[in-house]
C-alpha cells in the first residue's frame, strides 16, 4: 500500500507540487500579514467591538503623533485601515475563501479521468486486481495530503482573522466562520471527492472541472441560506428580550460574534404575525398634515386607550458565539457526509466504467 500511495503522488506530481506550494505559501502569507497587522500595536481601546470603528477624517496614515485636539485613535486606526485595505492583505483574505476549492478540484479531476484519457486505465486496473481498491487507495492518498495542506491553511486563516479582530475570540465568533478554520478542510474534501466522482462518470478531465466549478459555485453561494434556515433553526434562540425591543429607548447593538438567522416580529413581548400596514391604519391615525394624532406633549405615540403605544418589533433570532463549535461540527459533518457520498458514487461507478 505505501508503494501505491507513493506511485499516486508520483503520477500526479505536478498537482501535488502545485497545491503544496499554493497552500503552504498561502499559510505563510496569512501569518506574515497577521504579524504585520499585530506589529502596529493598535490600542485595544480604539478598536471597539470587533474593530469596526470608522474614522472619516484625521491626519494622513503614517504620521507618528496626532495634532492637538484630534482623537488619539485617529492615527493608529488610519495606519490599521491602510494595511487592511491594501491589495496584498485583501488578496490573502480572498485566497482563504478559494483555496479549498482550487485544491480539491486540482487533486480530484485527473485522479481517474487522466488514466482514461491516456488509455492507461486497463493496465492499472489489471495490475491492481480490483478497480475499487485501486481507486480507494488513490483517494486516500490524495485526501490525506489535502487534509494536511488545508490544515495549515486553516490555522493561518484563524490567526489572520484573530489579528484582524483582536477583541473577538475567533473560536467563539461566527464572523466569516465558514471561510476559515476547520471548515476549510471539509470544503476541500467535499470539492475533492465530488470532482473525483465527476471525473469517474465523465471520463474526461476538462468536463469534470467545468461541472465541478459550477456546482461548487452554487453550493458555496447558497450554503448559508439553506443551512441557516434548515439545519441551524432548531438550535437558534432569541438574542434580545422582546419586551426591551419594544421600548423606544432601547438600542440593540449587533455583536459580530453572533450569527443572525431571522428577525421574527413581536408585540408586547409575544410573537406577532399581523400586517404592519393594517396595524398602522388602526393605531396611528393621521391628521390633515400627515402627522399622528395620538401624541402626547413629549412626542410619545399614544394608543386609543391613551397609554403609550407599543409597536411591533423585529427581534433578533440566532446563535451566540459560544455555540461556535457545535455549529462548526454540524456543518462540517454535513460537508463530510456529502464528500463520503461522492466518494461512494466514484467507487460504485468505477466498476461500471468502460476503460476508455
Give per-residue pLDDT as tens, 317-353.
999 999 999 999 999 999 999 999 999 999 999 988 8
Q: Which of 204-218, 221-235, 266-280, 320-334 has the lowest mean pLDDT?
A: 266-280
pLDDT grade for 36, boundaries at 50, 70 and 90: very high
pLDDT reported for residue 60: 38
Evaluate if residue 57 carries a pLDDT over 50: no
Give the pLDDT confidence score for residue 243 in this predicted structure.
79
Q: Are 257 and 175 in contact (CB under 8 A)?
A: yes
* Assigned domain for 308 exists: no
Mean pLDDT of 220-246: 90
pLDDT (0 to 100) of residue 254: 74
| pLDDT single digits (tens) 128-179 | 888 999 999 999 999 999 999 999 999 999 999 999 988 889 999 999 999 9
pTM of the full structure: 0.86
Distance of CA 3 to the CA centre of its chain: 38
- For residue 331, being part of any structural domain is answered with yes
Compute the distance between CA of residue 318 and CA of residue 42 in angstroms, rounded to an integer.
Answer: 31
Cell 432601547 -> residue: 250
Average pLDDT over residues 238-243: 86
The rounded distance, in Å, linking the Cα atoms of 49 and 127 is 61
- Window from 43-52, 123-132, 225-234 with minimum mean pLDDT: 43-52
Q: Cα separation of 310 and 303, whole Å?
A: 8
More confident residue, 135 or 356: 135
Classify residue 78: in a domain, yes or no.
Answer: no
Closest alpha carbon to 191 in 204, 208, 176, 206:
208
Q: E-strand spans in 165-219? A: none
What is the domain extent for residue 122? Answer: 2-39+86-235+320-352
pLDDT at position 310, please? 74
Q: Phi, psi (5° rounding) for residue 57? A: -145, 155
What is the largest distance, in Å, between two alpha-carbon atoms of the chain?
92
Please, are residues 295 and 344 in contact by the beta-carbon 8 Å criterion? no
pLDDT of residue 125: 87
Q: Could you tell me if residue 293 is inside a domain?
A: no
Report the share of the chain in percent with pLDDT over 90. Answer: 61
Q: Which residue has the higher pLDDT, 197 or 52?
A: 197
Q: How many domains does the chain have?
A: 1
What average pLDDT does the structure give for the chain? Answer: 86
Q: How many CB atoms lie within 10 A of CB 275?
A: 10
User: What is the rounded (10 degree) CA torsion for 330, 331, 333, 337?
Assistant: 140
Q: Confidence class of residue 72 from pLDDT cuts 50, 70 and 90?
A: confident
pLDDT digits (tens, 9 = 90+) for 246-304: 666 666 677 779 999 999 998 888 899 888 888 777 776 666 666 666 666 565 666 65
Per DSSP bridges, beta strands 317-319 and 313-314 are unpaired
φ/ψ (deg, to 5) at 173: -145, 140
52 pLDDT band, cuts 50/70/90, is: very low
Average pLDDT estimate for 182-208: 96
Nearest Cα residue to 121 out of 347, 331, 355: 355
Q: Is residue 69 part of a domain?
A: no
Q: CA–CA separation, 229 vs 354, rounded Å?
A: 42
Q: Is 22 contained in some domain? A: yes
**Cβ–Cβ under 8 Å, residues 311 and 161:** no
CA distance 156 to 201: 35
pLDDT at position 288 is: 64
- What three-state secondary structure class fits 172? helix
Measured CA angle at 269 (ends 285, 225), to 5 deg: 95
* Assigned domain for 131 exists: yes
Closest CA to 310 of 259, 253, 255, 266: 266
**pLDDT exceeds cutoff 90 at 85:** yes
Cell of 292: 399622528
* Residue 254 domain flag: no
Amino acid at each position: 500500500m505505501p508503494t501505491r500511495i507513493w506511485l499516486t503522488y508520483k503520477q500526479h506530481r505536478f498537482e501535488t507540487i502545485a497545491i503544496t506550494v499554493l497552500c503552504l505559501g498561502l499559510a505563510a502569507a496569512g501569518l506574515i500579514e497577521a504579524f504585520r497587522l499585530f506589529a502596529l500595536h493598535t490600542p485595544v481601546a480604539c478598536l471597539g467591538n470587533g474593530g469596526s470603528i470608522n474614522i472619516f477624517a484625521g491626519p494622513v496614515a503614517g504620521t507618528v503623533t496626532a495634532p492637538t485636539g484630534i482623537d488619539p485613535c485617529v492615527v493608529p486606526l488610519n495606519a490599521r485601515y491602510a494595511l487592511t485595505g491594501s491589495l496584498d492583505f485583501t488578496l490573502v483574505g480572498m485566497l482563504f475563501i478559494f483555496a479549498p476549492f482550487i485544491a480539491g478540484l486540482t487533486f480530484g479531476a485527473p485522479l481517474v479521468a487522466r488514466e482514461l484519457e491516456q488509455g492507461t486505465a486497463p493496465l492499472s486496473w489489471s495490475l491492481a486486481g480490483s478497480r475499487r481498491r485501486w481507486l480507494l487507495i488513490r483517494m486516500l492518498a490524495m485526501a490525506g495530503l489535502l487534509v494536511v495542506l488545508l490544515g495549515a491553511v486553516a490555522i493561518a486563516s484563524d490567526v489572520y482573522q484573530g489579528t484582524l479582530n483582536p477583541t473577538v475570540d475567533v473560536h467563539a465568533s461566527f464572523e466569516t466562520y465558514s471561510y476559515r478554520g476547520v471548515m476549510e478542510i471539509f470544503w476541500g474534501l467535499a470539492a475533492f471527492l465530488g470532482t473525483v466522482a465527476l471525473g469517474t462518470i465523465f471520463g474526461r478531465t476538462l468536463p469534470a472541472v467545468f461541472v465541478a466549478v459550477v456546482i461548487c459555485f452554487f453550493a458555496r453561494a447558497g450554503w448559508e441560506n439553506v443551512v441557516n434556515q434548515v439545519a441551524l433553526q432548531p438550535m437558534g434562540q432569541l438574542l434580545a428580550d422582546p419586551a426591551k425591543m419594544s421600548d423606544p429607548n432601547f438600542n440593540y447593538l449587533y455583536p459580530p460574534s453572533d450569527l443572525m438567522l431571522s428577525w421574527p416580529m413581536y408585540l408586547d413581548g409575544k410573537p406577532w404575525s399581523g400586517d404592519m400596514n393594517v396595524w398602522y391604519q388602526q393605531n396611528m391615525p393621521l391628521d390633515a398634515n400627515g402627522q399622528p394624532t395620538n401624541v402626547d406633549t413629549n412626542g410619545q405615540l399614544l394608543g386609543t386607550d391613551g397609554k403609550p403605544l407599543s409597536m411591533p418589533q423585529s427581534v433578533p433570532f440566532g446563535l451566540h458565539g459560544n455555540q461556535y463549535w457545535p455549529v462548526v461540527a454540524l456543518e462540517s459533518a454535513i460537508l463530510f457526509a456529502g464528500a463520503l457520498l461522492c466518494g461512494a458514487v466514484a467507487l460504485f461507478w468505477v466498476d461500471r466504467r468502460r476503460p476508455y
